[in-house]
């Protein structure tokens, strides 16, 4: 395993607040039940590593930083909510996101002495080594920032853009849209002054929360559920209308390592063929039909879960499905906020001793997605907290990111990212997914384990791929 001193020095060069390019009147939106579902969840933290086109520090300070600041200000004009904060007005039953003129996004400019190539590589290294690149959200009982940003220079090699996003404000689809818009504007202003109407249609956010129908008042149900959970877990810190997040401490005291595993198209083709070949040998549920083809997401998750079965033995697997097209009526694909719903698969230990285990797990994931038919998304929404509570004794493995977000296309004008990493899987224990950087249709899988667990997983992962016939 590659080693890195976790106390690597970082020097803060500047701390500033970036406001939208022009003053607007106050703007606020309510939190929907999709938002409140993630109300006290840990922020999503992502790092984007870029190589420097010129190795001297002056280029970074005199060219890169001014363009990033200017383009961020212009971008926020289109994404006003991100310049605001989550608040909980006394007259409101639930929190809102509110922008007030003068608000802005915290931006830290820093310099790191850490090894850029190590941190942006795939090989196993200390997970904590990336933490100094992650900005922290400003969250109190009464106010919570929506995002925080940090740009860190690695002298003579590259730089990193780190983002922390409050999960009650946006899901991964919306977060990726914002970053793509920022990158697009940063590239554009190098040629001509940007105006808000210049954003491509696919990058223009849709903010109308009235399209999210909530006839069961799930918003208040989720808010009360989170409040009760906070009161039971942190009675000494709990306040009835607090915006503070729920602490997650299960993995913070462990010495963890981070690594990235790649599934190339040939691997994915073998996995899909294996699942479909074994499909008919598994007992079918009533009315079930064999799929014509398997999605990359399903087989990737199934294979990683099967490999994890050799590490953890007994756990539950959860992932979030995009519901924008699954609501009745469907909402705009550019809907900005949260519009994802968790699906939970309880993984039984005996499933990992059967030669059909890959197909078994893939079938579970496939059927969970299939159940989310149009209009059926909220059918089991009231049972969600109870489902998670019933699994309290188990480790829950989630999924962060997606192979469909296109994060390696986020080019600010100095080439595509060298590496994209979801750092928050350190805390949540999730599987981080992204499309392969080379654009060949492969998948990157980011994982964090203890050293012994990582070595076992890697052995199972690579030997398993070799054992599957073409």
- Whole-angstrom CA distances from 311 to 267, 271, 394, 443, 449 are 21, 20, 14, 21, 9
Structure-token pair, residue 437 = 């950087």
205 alpha-carbon distance from chain centroid? 18
DSSP 2: -
CA distance linking residue 459 with residue 124, whole number of Å? 13
Structure-token pair, residue 241 = 């209308």
Q: Going by DSSP bridges, is the β-strand pair 96-99/147-154 parallel, antiparallel, or unpaired?
A: unpaired
**Is 426 considered catalytic here?**
no
Query: Dihedral through CA 131, CA 135, CA 140, CA 144, nearest 10?
Result: -130
Residues contacting 396, CB < 8 A, separation 6+: 315, 316, 317, 318, 344, 388, 429
3-state secondary structure of 449: strand
CA distance linking residue 375 with residue 394, whole number of Å? 31
**Is 219 considered catalytic here?**
no
Say if CB 124 and CB 1 are below 8 A apart. Answer: yes
* CA dihedral sign of residues 333, 335, 337, 340: negative
CA distance linking residue 78 with residue 198, whole number of Å? 11
Say if CB 142 and CB 165 are below 8 A apart. Answer: no
Say if CB 331 and CB 212 are below 8 A apart. Answer: yes
The residue whose two tokens read 């939190």 is 31
CA distance linking residue 258 with residue 251, whole number of Å? 13
Catalytic residue among 35, 167, 219, 426: 167
3-state secondary structure of 326: coil
Structure-token pair, residue 313 = 């033995």
Say if CB 104 and CB 127 are below 8 A apart. Answer: no
Catalytic residue among 24, 332, 346, 411: 411
Say if CB 159 and CB 119 are below 8 A apart. Answer: no
Say if CB 320 and CB 338 are below 8 A apart. Answer: no
- Active-site positions read 167, 411
């Amino acid at each position: 395993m590659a080693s890195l001193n976790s106390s690597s020095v970082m020097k803060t060069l500047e701390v500033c607040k970036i406001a939208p390019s022009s003053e607007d009147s106050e703007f606020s939106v309510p939190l929907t039940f999709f938002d409140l579902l993630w109300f006290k969840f840990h922020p999503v933290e992502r790092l984007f590593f870029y190589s420097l086109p010129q190795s001297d520090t002056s280029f970074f300070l005199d060219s890169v930083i001014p363009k990033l600041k200017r383009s961020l200000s212009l971008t926020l004009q289109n994404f006003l909510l991100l310049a605001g904060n989550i608040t909980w007005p006394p007259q409101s039953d639930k929190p809102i996101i509110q922008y007030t003129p003068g608000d802005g996004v915290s931006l830290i400019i820093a310099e790191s002495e850490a090894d850029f190539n190590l941190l942006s590589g795939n090989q196993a290294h200390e997970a904590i080594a990336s933490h100094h690149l992650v900005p922290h959200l400003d969250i109190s009982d009464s106010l919570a920032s929506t995002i925080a940003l940090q740009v860190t220079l690695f002298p003579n090699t590259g730089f990193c853009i780190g983002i922390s996003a409050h999960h009650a404000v946006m899901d991964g689809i919306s977060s990726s849209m914002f970053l793509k818009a920022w990158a697009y504007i940063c590239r554009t202003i190098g040629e001509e002054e940007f105006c808000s109407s210049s954003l491509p249609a696919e990058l223009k956010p849709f903010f109308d929360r009235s399209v999210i129908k909530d006839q069961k008042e799930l918003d208040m149900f989720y808010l009360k559920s989170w409040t009760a959970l906070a009161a039971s877990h942190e009675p000494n810190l709990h306040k009835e209308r607090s915006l503070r997040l729920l602490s997650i401490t299960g993995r913070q005291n462990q010495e963890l390592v981070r690594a990235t595993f790649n599934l190339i198209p040939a691997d994915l083709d073998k996995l899909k063929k294996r699942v479909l070949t074994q499909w008919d040998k598994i007992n079918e549920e009533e009315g079930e039909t064999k799929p014509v083809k398997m999605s990359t997401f399903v087989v990737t998750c199934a294979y990683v879960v099967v490999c994890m079965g050799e590490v953890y033995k007994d756990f539950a697997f959860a992932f979030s499905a995009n519901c924008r097209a699954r609501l009745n009526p469907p909402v705009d694909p550019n809907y900005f906020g949260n519009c994802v719903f968790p699906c939970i698969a309880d993984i039984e230990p005996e499933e990992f001793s059967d030669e059909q285990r890959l197909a078994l797990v893939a079938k579970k994931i496939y059927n969970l997605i299939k159940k989310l038919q149009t209009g059926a998304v909220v059918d089991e929404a009231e049972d969600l907290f109870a489902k998670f509570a019933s699994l309290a004794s188990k480790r829950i493995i989630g999924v962060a990111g997606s192979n469909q977000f296109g994060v390696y296309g986020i080019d600010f004008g100095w080439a595509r990212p060298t590496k994209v990493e979801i750092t928050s899987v350190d805390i949540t224990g999730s599987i981080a997914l992204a499309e392969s950087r080379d654009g060949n249709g492969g998948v990157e899988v980011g994982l964090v384990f203890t050293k012994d667990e990582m070595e076992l997983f890697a052995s199972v992962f690579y030997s398993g791929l070799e054992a599957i016939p073409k």
